[in-house]
Amino acid sequence: METRLILFGPPGVGKGTQAKLLAEQFGIPHISTGDILRAGAMAGTELGKKAKALMDEGKLVPDDIMVNLVRETLASPKTAKGFILDGFPRTIGQAKALSAIFKELKITRFQVVNFEVDDEEIIRRLANRLICPKEGKIFNLEFDAVESGGPCPSCGTRLIQREDDKAETVRERLRVYNAATKAVIEYYRQQGVVMTLDGTGTVDVVNREIRMML
């Protein structure tokens, strides 16, 4: 049976970390709109350049751009056995557009995993996050044996802090989440597809909880 998940929640709640684990565990693709935009920015594509300016300020990229990007990605045969959507939808407009895409693709079954972690812990997690710019792997200074500017444990690339993980940009991202994104969960509650999860446990504990819920 296909596993189709939408991981939902504020920045830094652990969506990317769990999406990568679940993608491996279920053998299905991880579709992170943030990762796609960051890869475009690194490659210097038109979309990447436009998106980077907004991302670095903690603002959302316009709905039409994001919807086209997700429509193309979901139409790929790679998603036939399912997918994990991370970072989309982020506005009611995107959520409605995704419903239309699901209709076009005849997708009727999917679940939304709603992560909850308080703002203080989010700020702490993002202040300590490092990523591998090559593979997008995610680390944390508090519990992974990594250092800023040090090598990625899996490929050796120099680890960096995300541009939008500066304290003032994190505050703006949380503001944008509360103003534009949070309400999307109501859209899905009305469809009866939401599973809410306490995201404060360790990475392994949260992973086990998600798999038990499914």
Q: Which residues bind ligand AP5 (CB under 6 A)?
A: 11-17, 33-34, 37, 54-55, 58-61, 66, 87-88, 90, 94, 125, 128-129, 138-140, 164, 173, 201-203, 206
Q: Which one-letter amino acid corresponds to residue 192? A: G
Measured from the CB atom, is 1 or 33 closer to ligand AP5? 33
User: Which among Mg ion, ligand AP5, none contacts residue 11 (Cβ within 5 to 8 A by kind)?
Assistant: ligand AP5
CB of 191 to ligand AP5, least distance (A): 19
User: Which among Mg ion, ligand AP5, none contacts residue 88 (Cβ within 5 to 8 A by kind)?
Assistant: ligand AP5
Measured from the CB atom, is 10 or 16 closer to Mg ion? 16
Radius of gyration of the chain (CA): 16
What stretches of 88-193 adopt beta strand conformation (E)? 111-116, 129-131, 138-140
Instruction: Specify the 3-state DSSP secondary structure of 24.
Output: helix
> x/- string (CB under 5 A) for Mg ion, residues 14-53?
--x-------------------------------------
CB of 167 to ligand AP5, least distance (A): 13
CB of 69 to ligand AP5, least distance (A): 8
137 with 29: CB under 8 angstroms?
no
CB of 103 to Mg ion, least distance (A): 27
User: Which among ligand AP5, Mg ion, none contacts residue 52 (Cβ within 5 to 8 A by kind)?
Assistant: none
User: Which among Mg ion, ligand AP5, none contacts residue 13 (Cβ within 5 to 8 A by kind)?
Assistant: ligand AP5
Q: Tell me: does residue 10 bind Mg ion (CB under 5 A).
A: no
For 145, other C-beta atoms within 10 Å of its C-beta total: 8
16 with 202: CB under 8 angstroms?
no
User: Which among ligand AP5, Mg ion, none contacts residue 14 (Cβ within 5 to 8 A by kind)?
Assistant: ligand AP5
Q: Which residues pair with 198 in a beta bridge?
A: 116
For 106, other C-beta atoms within 10 Å of its C-beta total: 6
Give the DSSP per-residue string, 82-102.
EEEEES---SHHHHHHHHHHH
CA-wise closest residue to 1 among 100, 98, 111: 111
- Going by C-beta distance under 8 Å and a sequence separation of 6 or more, which residues neighbour residue 73? 31, 36, 79
CB of 15 to Mg ion, least distance (A): 5
Q: Which residues in this chain contact Mg ion in the complex, by CB under 5 A?
A: 16
